[in-house]
Amino acid sequence: MSYDINKIRQEFPILNRKVYGKPLVYFDNGATTQKPNSVISSINKVYKDINSNIHRGVHFLSAQSTDAYENARRVVKEFINAEHIHEIVFTSGTTASINLVAFSFGEKYISEGDEIIVSSMEHHSNIVPWQMLCERKNAKLKVIPFNEKGDLLIEEFKILLSEKTKLVAINHVSNTLGTINPVKEIINLAHKKNIPVLIDGAQAVQHITVNIQELDADFYAFSGHKIYGPTGIGVLYGKEKYLNTMPPYMGGGDMIKTVSFEKTTYNDLPFKFEAGTANYTGAIGLAEALNFVSSIGISNIRAHEKALLDYGTMKLSEIESLIIYGNSNNKTGAISFLLDNIHHSDVGMILDKMGVAVRTGNHCTQPVMDKFNITGTVRASFAMYNTKQEIDILFESLNKILEMFS
Ligand code: PLP
């Protein structure tokens, strides 16, 4: 199938917007992606046609919204090729998914002196929940370092793995460096010692194929809004054997079977972990987003974004005083850089006036900044709808900024 970029772009109404009278070049996809018409209209349709609280109603609309919500769970299951539908828990996003595991798995399985391994290229949301757990339980956090190119040091990981290790939590793709980590190898190494692995897939599912059964991940977390879906919805995949033994994270409606003051019994999976009114609108929108991605094909998206990455890296490298942070051979389309000695937020603000939206700062990865001894970078991150022409605009704009500062 040929990749019809114009047709794809037409599906995203916001791409027609102008900012400061200039065509929008949106390169802040790592932070959040834009939404296609089908997602926008599915949310509209929920509120126009079927809105009703799920699971608890006996009436027509409640049955329809419940069906749509549970169908969304099926779409997620199929998208990541999970074994069981009840292994898919809807959350509000990656952060919520990781916190759920940190609390609930932590309650059951972490004790004083235990160790949890993360890497030094994690987003804060895959660091802080584990630090909080370690504080509660008097456990220790161990950190896998990475090299100048932005690749994890797997030999160091092997040394860190021990009988004290109770969990490994690692990102599939680094939001700052773009590195695609060898998570399959990491999972295999951990499993040899019967250690479960949580994968933060916030920057992976929208760019590369994720096959949970093939990876054999024990937990996998991602956010709807980064894969062309709505905000406020996310997914926690968890292996049945762990989810069944973990205590609930939050108490409330829907997560119980019976409640009395003497004893409350909890609901079956996945409802045990979905207390309160679920974001059914978000889940339905997310399913639409995943269907949209599937209709284009994740491998076609990967090929398109890889071409953008290669072109972007080549163009930006033409600027002598520009340094790229994150040069792994295995990357998604994210380029973090500094221009000459100009502060990253100055570059970001001037690019903005030129119509180019990028992210600046530490990208919620302060340890990555510390490693390079910098305070932040400018990050251009690509999505299925970006073009080489847009990269040319970025390139020309950066050259103009250099002239302004010279
Ligand atoms: N993990 C990674 C690698 C991310 O890039 C992000 C967001 O940028 C998160 C976790 C947190 O995602 P959310 O804010 O949607 O919960």
Query: Residues 9-59: pLDDT tens digits?
Result: 999 999 999 999 999 999 999 999 999 999 999 999 999 999 999 997 899
Cβ atoms within 10 Å of 214's Cβ, excluding its own:
10
Confidence class for position 1, pLDDT limits 50, 70, 90: low
Answer for the pair 310, 334: CB distance below 8 angstroms, yes or no.
no
Same domain for 191 and 265, yes or no, is yes
Same domain for 66 and 175, yes or no, is yes
**Residue range 206-262, pLDDT digits in tens:** 999 999 999 999 999 999 999 999 999 999 999 999 999 999 999 999 999 999 999
Q: Is residue 134 annotated as a catalytic residue, yes or no?
A: no
CATH of the domain at 335: 3.90.1150.10
**Protein residue with its CA nearest to atom 4 in ligand 1:** 202
**Index of the ligand 1 atom closest to the CA of residue 200:** 1
In the block, which residue shows the tokens 């069981």? 84
Report if residue 157 sits inside a domain.
yes
Q: Which helix (H) or strand (E) holds 372?
A: helix 366-372
**Index of the ligand 1 atom closest to the CA of residue 175:** 5
| DSSP three-state, residue 140 | strand
Paired residues of 237 in beta bridges? 88, 220
Q: What is the mean pLDDT of residues 65-73?
A: 98
In this predicted structure, what is the pLDDT of residue 87? 98
Same domain for 363 and 249, yes or no, is no
Nearest to 385 by CA among 24, 6, 39, 22: 6
Same domain for 26 and 172, yes or no, is no
Catalytic-labelled residue, pool 31, 323, 364, 374: 364
In this predicted structure, what is the pLDDT of residue 57? 80
Q: In residues, how long is the chain?
A: 406
Report if residue 166 sits inside a domain.
yes
Q: Which helix (H) or strand (E) holds 230?
A: none
Q: What percent of the chain has pLDDT over 90?
A: 99
Q: What is the 172 CA–ligand 1 centroid distance (Å)?
A: 11
From the number of C-beta atoms within 10 Å of its C-beta (0-12, 13-18, 19+), residue 192 rates as: exposed
Report if residue 192 sits inside a domain.
yes
**Residue range 139-184, pLDDT digits in tens:** 999 999 999 999 999 999 999 999 999 999 999 999 999 999 999 9
Mutate to test the pocket of ligand 1, among 226, 228, 233, 368 (most ligand atoms within 8 A of CB): 226
Q: What is the 379 CA–ligand 1 centroid distance (Å)?
A: 15
| DSSP three-state, residue 272 | helix
Report if residue 175 sits inside a domain.
yes
* Residue that is last in its domain, among 278, 295, 312: 295
According to DSSP, residue 358 is labeled -
Same domain for 266 and 290, yes or no, is yes
Report if residue 35 sits inside a domain.
no
Mean pLDDT across the chain, nearest whole number? 97
Query: First CA to last CA across the chain, in angstroms?
Result: 47
Dist. CA 90–CA 100, nearest whole Å: 11
Dist. CA 91–CA 195, nearest whole Å: 24
Q: What is the 319 CA–ligand 1 centroid distance (Å)?
A: 30
Mutate to test the pocket of ligand 1, among 175, 206, 279, 379 (most ligand atoms within 8 A of CB): 175
Same domain for 119 and 239, yes or no, is yes
Paired residues of 365 in beta bridges? none
Same domain for 316 and 251, yes or no, is no
Same domain for 194 and 256, yes or no, is yes
Q: What is the 27 CA–ligand 1 centroid distance (Å)?
A: 16
Same domain for 47 and 82, yes or no, is yes
Nearest to 5 by CA among 309, 298, 384, 308: 384
The beta-strand segments (E) located in 209-315 are 219-223, 234-238, 256-258, 265-266
Report if residue 397 sits inside a domain.
yes
Report residues whose beta carbon is within 6 angstroms of any ligand 1 atom: 93-95, 123, 125-126, 171, 175, 200, 202-203, 223
Dist. CA 337–CA 330, nearest whole Å: 17
Dist. CA 125–CA 365, nearest whole Å: 9
Q: What is the 176 CA–ligand 1 centroid distance (Å)?
A: 11
Dist. CA 94–CA 113, nearest whole Å: 27
Cβ atoms within 10 Å of 66's Cβ, excluding its own:
18
Q: Which residue range(s) make up the domain with 51? A: 40-295
**Residue range 328-360, pLDDT digits in tens:** 999 999 999 999 999 999 999 999 999 999 999
The H helix count followed by the E strand count for the chain is: 14, 17
**Residue range 88-98, pLDDT digits in tens:** 999 999 999 99
Q: Reply yes or no on whether the pLDDT at 137 is more than 60.
A: yes
Which pair of tokens denotes residue 74? 């099926």
CATH of the domain at 81: 3.40.640.10
**Protein residue with its CA nearest to atom 14 in ligand 1:** 95
Same domain for 313 and 170, yes or no, is no
Same domain for 19 and 138, yes or no, is no
Which pair of tokens denotes residue 140? 């220790």
* Residue that is last in its domain, among 295, 322, 348: 295
Q: Reply yes or no on whether the pLDDT at 273 is more than 60.
A: yes
Q: How many domains does the chain have?
A: 2
In this predicted structure, what is the pLDDT of residue 310? 98
Q: Which residues, other chains included, contact 155 with Cβ-Cβ below 8 Å and sequence gap of 6+? A: none
Same domain for 216 and 331, yes or no, is no
Q: Is 32 left (phi over 0), alpha (psi -120 to 50) or beta?
A: beta
* Residue that is last in its domain, among 260, 295, 330: 295
